[in-house]
């Protein structure tokens, strides 16, 4: 029996997925979560064979959950299910070593087949996502992404510097580089551009 945890913030979709997957004779949905934090807690406690994570969820994104599971060396296989074919997201998913990355507009039959393939040790990536990765690479370094993410969370240059052990001046230099790289007029525009492209 393949035990599955589903994390999706839209209740109707979460319920529908759970019901449809439970119809499969070899599947059992053992937990459902409406946000990333609850998903992580359920996965660590239940240790299912597979977890299906939405990307954009409250508290923690699906990608953040996947990264935490990788850090903790959890054996659960991760499948990201999303409406967003953004290259930056796919790039981050690969870095988090997810086992599947599929679009929500696929059929339940395709999802069930992907789950079985992932459990068998294969990787399942939607073709559109792989093609999109060749369009635009993330121009930001890891440190620049950290700085911009903290800025997006409302931190000041001084607070960002304290968290990353940098001077406020160095933080401002990073921000200036970010604006140039993404061709933004200001910090707010840079955050919007990077979110849209999935770089943040």
Read off the CATH number of the domain in which 118 is found: 3.40.50.2300
The verdict on 31 and 105 lying in the same domain is yes
Domain hosting residue 86, numbered range: 2-132
Using pLDDT thresholds of 50, 70 and 90, give the confidence band for residue 92.
confident
8 Å CB contact between 54 and 7: yes
Considering its fold, how many domains does the chain have in total?
2
94 and 72 in one domain? yes
110 and 40 share one domain: yes
pLDDT tier, 130 (very low <50, low <70, confident <90, very high otherwise): low
Greater confidence, 44 or 97?
A: 44
Question: 126 with 149, same domain?
Answer: no
Query: Do residue 121 and residue 154 come from a single domain?
Result: no
Pair (7, 103) in one structural domain: yes
Q: Does the residue 8 lie in any domain? A: yes
pTM above 0.75, yes or no: no
- Quick one: pLDDT band at residue 162, thresholds 50, 70, 90? very high
First to last CA, the chain: 37
Contact 115, 4 (CB under 8 A): yes
H-run or E-run covering 127 = helix 127-132
The answer for residues whose C-beta is within 8 angstroms of residue 78's C-beta and 6 or more apart is: 50, 51, 53, 65, 66, 69, 96, 97, 98, 99, 100
Q: What is the rounded average pLDDT for all residues in the chain?
A: 89
Residues 166, 102 share a domain: no
Spell out the long-range contacts of 37-41 with Cβ–Cβ below 8 A and sequence spacing 24 or more: 38/7, 39/5, 39/7, 39/65, 40/65, 40/68, 40/69
Identify the DSSP state of 119. Answer: H
């Amino acid at each position: 029996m393949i035990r599955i945890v589903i994390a999706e913030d839209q209740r109707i979709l979460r319920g529908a997925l759970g019901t449809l997957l439970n119809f499969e004779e070899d599947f059992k949905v053992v937990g459902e979560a409406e946000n990333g934090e609850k998903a992580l807690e359920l996965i660590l406690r239940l240790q299912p064979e597979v977890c299906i994570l939405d990307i954009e969820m409250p508290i923690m994104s699906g990608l953040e959950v996947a990264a935490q599971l990788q850090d903790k060396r959890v054996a659960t296989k991760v499948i990201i299910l999303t409406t967003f074919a953004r290259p930056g997201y796919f790039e981050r998913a690969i870095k988090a070593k997810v086992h599947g990355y599929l679009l929500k507009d696929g059929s339940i039959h395709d999802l069930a087949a992907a789950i079985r393939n992932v459990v068998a040790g294969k990787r399942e990536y939607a073709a559109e996502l792989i093609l999109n990765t060749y369009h635009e690479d993330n121009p930001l370094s890891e440190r620049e992404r950290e700085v911009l993410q903290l800025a997006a969370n409302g931190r000041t240059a001084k607070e960002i510097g304290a968290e990353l052990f940098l001077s406020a001046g160095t933080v401002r230099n990073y921000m200036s580089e970010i604006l140039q790289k993404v061709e933004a007029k200001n910090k707010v525009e840079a955050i919007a551009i990077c979110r849209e492209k999935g770089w943040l």
